[in-house]
């Protein structure tokens, strides 16, 4: 709504400034409850940048340029995570938690005026506003297929966010690595992670199905997660390579499930379906640490990977068969 | 230039949203938390993200 009313430039600038402000507030937060409240505000402030930057690309690039431009923009997530993994543990070793979180605050502060100035020129190229809504067909949400794709995506979000949340602490706690070394390795792992998204996209084009590769990747991820969970008992030395495999595998499904949602919804409903997909993914990423906290509390860190494997198995069942 | 600005702005946003898990050991120390509690705290930025997405619907 804010993007529609005030435009991408205002939304992104305000979002970045507020993100930097709230990250700065972490320094003054009282205890874990105060820090938690500030982190909610950070998430609320940072969220709109994704949608606004997407619309910025739509507005500035022609139909022919847009695919590549969007593809490049999509690399922001693995790049952002790689940057965080590489830089934040080193910063935290020197300045602690709140000091380290000033790094993304500084980046947001630097970017806010650049966004305000450099995206100020009126749009020139983005002429088509998107699909017409005059004769919008019946909602795809009347059929179970799109719900199953959303469901599979949410289920696969659990291993993805489990691995992302606990990978560093697993290397530090279970394998005695230093946090900066663990961060560096996890940053490097984002490269094959990003490549795996591209390769799965190519594979899905070749086999003519988005969801068959998703099912395969869910099975392979589940097996790897289960082995990772068992590795301390069976073969501790296999823990690190298995973790890195899980980092790559668990993030690889994203592009396919998003594409599948859009294709299942059809062009007139694609925007709304992708917005729903974004919300459901955020829900998955929010609930995962709460659920895994219970597992860690009762059983320790490694079993979270076995629980994640169960979600992969559930996703295999949820993925609709014989649909693109 | 527009693409570069959009990309780096989103990198800043992703780093703010998903950076906390990479400082989990220091988060534990800062507030005397267990790994489970620190992980829960790391997920709270997603709650904010979700609220914004729902408000925008």
* pLDDT, tens digit (0-9, with 9 covering 90-100), for A152-199: 999 999 999 999 999 999 999 999 999 999 999 999 999 898 888 878
A66 touching B (Cβ < 8 Å): no
Question: Are both A112 and A165 inside the same structural domain?
Answer: no
Question: Are both A260 and A216 inside the same structural domain?
Answer: yes
What confidence tier does A4 reach under pLDDT thresholds 50, 70, 90? low
Give the model's pLDDT for residue A123: 56
**Is residue A103 one of the residues assigned to a domain?**
yes
Look at chain B and report how many structural domains it folds into. 1
What confidence tier does A245 reach under pLDDT thresholds 50, 70, 90? very high
Question: Are both A297 and A152 inside the same structural domain?
Answer: yes
Give the model's pLDDT for residue A139: 82
Taking alpha carbons only, the member of A73, A85, A4 closest to residue B5 is A73
Q: Is the pLDDT of residue A274 over 50?
A: yes
Q: Is the pLDDT of residue A148 over 80?
A: yes
* Domain coverage including residue B45: 2-56
CA A192 from centre of chain? 15
Q: Are A108 and B13 a contacting pair at CB < 8 A?
A: yes
Q: Residue B47: list chain A partners with CB under 8 A.
A: 40, 43, 286
- Which CATH number covers residue A242? 1.20.1250.20
- The predicted model gives A116-123 an average pLDDT of 70
The larger pLDDT score, comparing residue B57 to residue A121, is at B57
Q: Are A31 and B40 a contacting pair at CB < 8 A?
A: no
Question: Are both A58 and A109 inside the same structural domain?
Answer: yes
Question: Are both A88 and A147 inside the same structural domain?
Answer: no
Give the model's pLDDT for residue A128: 47
Tell me which range, A59-63, A278-282, B11-15, is most confidently predicted by mean pLDDT: B11-15
Q: Is the pLDDT of residue A129 over 60?
A: no
Mutation for testing the A interface, residue in B31, B33, B41, B48 having most A CBs under 10 Å: B48
Look at chain A and report how many structural domains it folds into. 2
Of A115, A179, A292, the CB nearest to B9: A115
Give the model's pLDDT for residue A63: 66
Q: Residue A307: list chain B partners with CB under 8 A.
A: none
**Is residue A90 one of the residues assigned to a domain?**
yes
Q: Residue A19: list chain B partners with CB under 8 A.
A: 12-13, 16
Q: Which of A76, A101, A118 is the endpoint of a domain?
A: A118
- The predicted model gives B40-44 an average pLDDT of 91
User: What value of ipTM does the predicted structure carry?
Assistant: 0.95
Q: Are A80 and B12 a contacting pair at CB < 8 A?
A: yes
- The predicted model gives A201-212 an average pLDDT of 84
Cα nearest neighbour of B53 on chain A: A279
A178 touching B (Cβ < 8 Å): no
Cα nearest neighbour of A66 on chain B: B3
Q: Is the pLDDT of residue A107 over 80?
A: yes
Q: Are B27 and A111 a contacting pair at CB < 8 A?
A: no
Q: Which of A74, A102, A118 is the endpoint of a domain?
A: A118
What confidence tier does A222 reach under pLDDT thresholds 50, 70, 90? very high
**Is residue A132 one of the residues assigned to a domain?**
no
**Is residue A324 one of the residues assigned to a domain?**
no
Q: Is the pLDDT of residue A131 over 50?
A: no
Question: Are both A168 and A38 inside the same structural domain?
Answer: no
**Is residue A258 one of the residues assigned to a domain?**
yes
**Is residue A125 one of the residues assigned to a domain?**
no
Give the model's pLDDT for residue A45: 93
Q: Is the pLDDT of residue A9 over 90?
A: no
Mean pLDDT of chain B: 88
Q: By mean pLDDT, which of A54-68, A80-94, A232-246, A284-298 is the weakest?
A: A54-68
Mean pLDDT of chain A: 86
Question: Are both A218 and A287 inside the same structural domain?
Answer: yes
Give the model's pLDDT for residue A130: 47
Q: Are B20 and A101 a contacting pair at CB < 8 A?
A: yes
**Is residue A80 one of the residues assigned to a domain?**
yes
Cα nearest neighbour of B57 on chain A: A1
* Domain coverage including residue A94: 2-118
pLDDT above 90: percentage of residues in chain A: 54
Q: Which of A76, A103, A118 is the endpoint of a domain?
A: A118
Q: Are A92 and B19 a contacting pair at CB < 8 A?
A: no
Give the model's pLDDT for residue A124: 53
How far away is chain A from the Cα of B5, in angstroms, using its nearest Cα?
6
**Is residue A34 one of the residues assigned to a domain?**
yes
Q: Are A79 and B11 a contacting pair at CB < 8 A?
A: yes
pLDDT in tens, B12-25: 999 999 999 999 99
Question: Are both A282 and A159 inside the same structural domain?
Answer: yes
Cα nearest neighbour of A112 on chain B: B9
């Amino acid at each position: 709504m804010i993007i529609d009313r005030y435009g991408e430039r205002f939304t992104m600038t305000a979002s970045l400034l507020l993100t930097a402000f709230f990250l700065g507030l972490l320094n003054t937060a009282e205890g874990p409850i105060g820090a938690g409240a500030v982190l909610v505000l950070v998430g609320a402030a940072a969220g709109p940048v994704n949608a606004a930057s997407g619309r910025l690309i739509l507005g500035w690039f022609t139909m022919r340029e847009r695919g590549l431009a969007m593809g490049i923009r999509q690399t922001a997530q693995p790049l952002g995570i790689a940057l965080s993994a590489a830089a934040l543990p080193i910063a935290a070793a020197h300045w602690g938690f709140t000091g380290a979180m000033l790094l993304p605050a500084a980046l947001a502060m630097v970017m806010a005026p650049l966004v305000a100035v450099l995206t100020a020129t009126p749009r020139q190229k983005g002429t088509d506003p998107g699909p017409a809504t005059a004769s919008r067909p019946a909602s795809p949400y009347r059929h179970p297929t799109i719900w199953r794709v959303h469901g599979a995506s949410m289920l696969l979000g659990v291993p993805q966010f489990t691995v992302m949340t606990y990978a560093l602490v697993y290397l530090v706690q279970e394998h005695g690595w230093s946090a900066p070394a663990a961060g560096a390795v996890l940053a490097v792992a984002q490269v094959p992670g990003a490549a795996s998204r591209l390769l799965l996209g190519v594979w899905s084009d070749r086999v003519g199905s988005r969801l068959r590769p998703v099912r395969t990747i869910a099975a392979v991820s589940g097996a790897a997660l289960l082995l990772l969970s068992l590795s301390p008992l069976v073969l501790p030395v296999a823990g690190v390579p298995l973790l890195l495999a899980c980092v790559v595998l668990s993030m690889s499904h994203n592009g396919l499930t998003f594409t599948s949602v859009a294709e299942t919804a059809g062009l007139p409903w694609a925007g709304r379906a992708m917005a729903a997909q974004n919300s459901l993914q955020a829900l998955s990423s929010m609930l995962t640490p709460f659920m895994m906290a219970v597992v860690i509390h009762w059983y320790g860190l490694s079993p979270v990977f076995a629980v994640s494997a169960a979600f992969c198995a559930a996703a295999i069942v949820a993925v609709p068969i014989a649909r693109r | 230039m527009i693409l570069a600005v959009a990309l780096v702005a989103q990198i800043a946003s992703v780093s703010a949203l998903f950076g906390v898990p990479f400082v989990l050991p220091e988060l534990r120390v800062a507030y005397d938390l267990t790994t489970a509690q620190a992980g829960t705290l790391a997920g709270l930025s997603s709650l904010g993200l979700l609220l914004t997405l729902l408000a925008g619907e």
